[in-house]
């Protein structure tokens, strides 16, 4: 849970939103673990008949899931192109909503997945509109316009035989 809601720190939050490697994997593992627990708790409470009598634990997990969806949305907004986590979370939320309502969830799950894909598509289109067209003959410094500090490293002179290290 500390991965999802750490102490308020702007730099760490930025790292969690744009970081790869262990930061992306940590988020992915938290996403999978909390989602599984959310579904398991909802199903267990449904089978016990306590689903509507004691919603406190499930409400806590539901809030964490909403936070995960928000963090996933922010990762995409910050440049991540992997939308699978966002779609997965939306589908899990729909499944638990169906369990709570006591209805089959296939249609609701599919609808939430489509809405998630549409949202992610619009966010990715927004990101793609920021990227400038690469023109032939542009210098490497021209490529970083609108890329929030990320630039391409085209310095390949170390391959030349007379290069000094």
pLDDT the model gives residue 135 = 46
Exposed, middle or buried: residue 113 (CB in 10 Å: 0-12, 13-18, 19+)?
middle
Give 81-94 pLDDT, tens digit per residue: 889 999 999 999 99
Give 52-111 pLDDT, tens digit per residue: 887 777 888 999 999 999 999 998 998 888 899 999 999 999 999 999 998 999 999 999
**Higher-scoring residue by pLDDT: 19, 34:** 34
Mean pLDDT of the chain: 79
The model carries a pTM of 0.70
Share of the chain above pLDDT 70, in %: 68
Give the chain's radius of gyration (CA, Å).
Answer: 21
pLDDT the model gives residue 119 = 97
Q: Average pLDDT of 98-125?
A: 94
C-alpha 3/C-alpha 27 separation (Å) is 7
DSSP 70-117: HHHHHHHHTT----HHHHHHHHHHHHHHHHHHTS--HHHHHHHHHHHH
51 confidence band (pLDDT: 50, 70, 90): confident
């Amino acid at each position: 849970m500390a991965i999802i809601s750490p102490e308020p720190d702007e730099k760490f939050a930025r790292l969690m939103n744009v970081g790869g490697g262990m930061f992306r994997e940590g988020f992915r593992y938290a996403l999978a673990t909390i989602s599984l627990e959310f579904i398991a708790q909802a199903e267990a409470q449904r089978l016990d008949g306590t689903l509507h009598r004691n919603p406190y634990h499930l409400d806590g997990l539901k809030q964490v899931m909403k936070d995960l969806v928000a963090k996933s949305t922010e990762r995409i907004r910050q440049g991540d192109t992997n939308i699978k986590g966002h779609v997965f979370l939306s589908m899990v939320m729909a499944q638990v909503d169906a369990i709570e309502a006591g209805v089959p969830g296939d249609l609701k799950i599919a609808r939430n997945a489509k809405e998630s894909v549409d949202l992610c598509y619009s966010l990715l289109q927004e990101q793609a509109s920021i990227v400038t067209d690469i023109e032939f003959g542009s210098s490497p410094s021209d490529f970083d316009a609108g890329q929030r500090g990320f630039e391409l490293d085209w310095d390949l002179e170390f391959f030349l035989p007379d290069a000094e290290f």
